[in-house]
Structures are given as C-alpha cells and as structure tokens.
C-alpha cells in the first residue's frame, strides 16, 4: 500500500496495532480479530504482537478497554438539562456513527462472552461513568434544579437505558428528536424539583 521500508516502533507501532484491531472488529466482528489478521492489517508480524500481549484474548480486551476509555464527554453546561442533553447527544452520536457503532456493538458482544473483560470494564469504564453521572445529578440538586431525594441509581442511567435498549435490542431509531423527548418527557419530570 505504501511505506515500503519504514519501520515503526514503540507507541507508534502500538497505535497502528490497536487501529488494526478496531478495523477488524468492526468489519469482521470479534471472531475476525485473529493474530494473523491483525498483523496483516497493521502491516506488522505476529511476533510483534506476542511480544506485547500474551494471547489473542488479551489483545482484544486491552484494545477494547483502551478504546472505550474515550467515550462521551460529561460537560458542565450550567444546567442539569443541558448536561444531560449533552451526554445523551454524545451517546446518540456514538451509537449512530458508522465508525463507532460497530465498535460499541463488538464491545457489548465481547462483554457477554468474556467474564474477565466484563469485570475489568465494570471496574473501570462503567465505574467512572456512573460517578460522572452521579456528579451531574449532585450538581443539579445543589442548584435546586432537581429534587434532593432523586433516586440516583435510576436517574443516573434512565436516559442511557432507553438509547442502549434501542441500539442493542429493538433497533428503533436514535436521533436528536428522540434524545430531546427522552430528556424532556421522561428524565426531567422524574428528577425535577417539585415546584
């Protein structure tokens, strides 16, 4: 394809490998992520992979965790409604974008099949996402936008739940209209301060 002689090292090489894994997982699914395929796709060789990861599963796990790290921002927009809208729009974009949606699907699939990955995931990514969402809610309560007795463990994930359910199960559309309605018709009434 190009770069005929050039020889990459360290971090640069590692990035290329991860990129290859992601490419394969989106085009051929988790089962398509074989060491040979990754080596070919990344333009490197198997020994390079085995020097860094003990086996296939570890490479996949590590890459998926690494990738999931940078999901959806949690901004401070000044209002809870604004924050939530931003978060859910972030999710909607991620679940909709042809570049990212297959990765997410692959991660979810892998989660159901790999207990180690599941644990690692819940300890890291899921854990801090929960914390982030709880933080948004706490901020909303402080500002008096939300009722102080909001059941955080529901409010935290209510909006996401609907989007994920559509994405993973029903296949129903996910667009900005849906996001806005979830926020205004479902989540806000549930969490808003009683006037």
Q: How far is the CB of 170 from its own copies (least distance, A)?
A: 6
Site for DNA in 11-70 (CB under 7 A): 13, 32, 34-37, 43-48, 50-51, 55-56
- Angle (CA) 118-121-123 rounded to 5° is 110
Give the C-alpha distances (Å, rounded to integers) separating 49 from 17, 39, 53, 182.
Answer: 8, 7, 6, 44
Site string for its own copies, 118-157 (x = CB under 8 A): x---x---x---x--------------------x-xx--x
Of 66, 31, 71, 69, which Cα lies nearest the Cα of 52? 66
Q: How far is the CB of 106 from DNA (least distance, A)?
A: 15
Considering the complex, state which of residue 15 and residue 181 has its C-beta at the smaller distance from its own copies: 181
Cβ pair 156, 137 in contact under 8 A: yes
Chain centre to alpha carbon of residue 34: 23
Query: Is residue 24 part of the contact set for its own copies (CB under 8 A)?
Result: no
Question: Which does residue 154 touch among its own copies, DNA, none (CB within 5 to 8 A, set by kind)?
Answer: its own copies
Q: How far apart (Å, rounded) are the C-alpha atoms in residues 129 and 118?
A: 15
User: Given the rule CB under 8 A, which residues bind its own copies?
Assistant: 29-31, 105-106, 108-113, 118, 122, 126, 130, 151, 153-154, 157-158, 160-162, 164-166, 168-172, 181-182, 185-186, 189-190
């Amino acid at each position: 394809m190009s770069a005929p002689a050039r020889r990459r090292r360290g971090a640069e090489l590692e990035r290329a490998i991860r990129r290859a894994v992601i490419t394969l997982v989106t085009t051929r699914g988790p089962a398509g992520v074989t060491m040979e395929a990754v080596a070919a796709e990344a333009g490197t060789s198997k020994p390079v992979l085995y020097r860094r990861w003990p086996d296939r599963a570890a490479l996949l796990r590590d890459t998926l965790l690494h990738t999931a790290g940078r999901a959806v921002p949690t901004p401070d927009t000044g209002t809870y409604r604004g924050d939530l809208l931003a978060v859910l729009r972030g999710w909607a974009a991620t679940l909709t974008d042809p570049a990212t949606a297959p990765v997410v699907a692959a991660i979810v699939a892998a989660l159901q099949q790999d207990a180690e990955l599941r644990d690692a995931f819940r300890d890291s990514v899921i854990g801090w996402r929960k914390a982030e969402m709880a933080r948004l809610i706490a901020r909303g309560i402080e500002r008096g936008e939300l009722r102080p007795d909001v059941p955080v463990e529901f409010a935290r994930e209510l909006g996401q739940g609907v989007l994920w359910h559509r994405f993973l199960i029903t296949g129903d559309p996910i667009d900005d209209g849906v996001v806005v309605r979830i926020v205004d018709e479902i989540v806000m009434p549930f969490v808003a301060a009683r006037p």
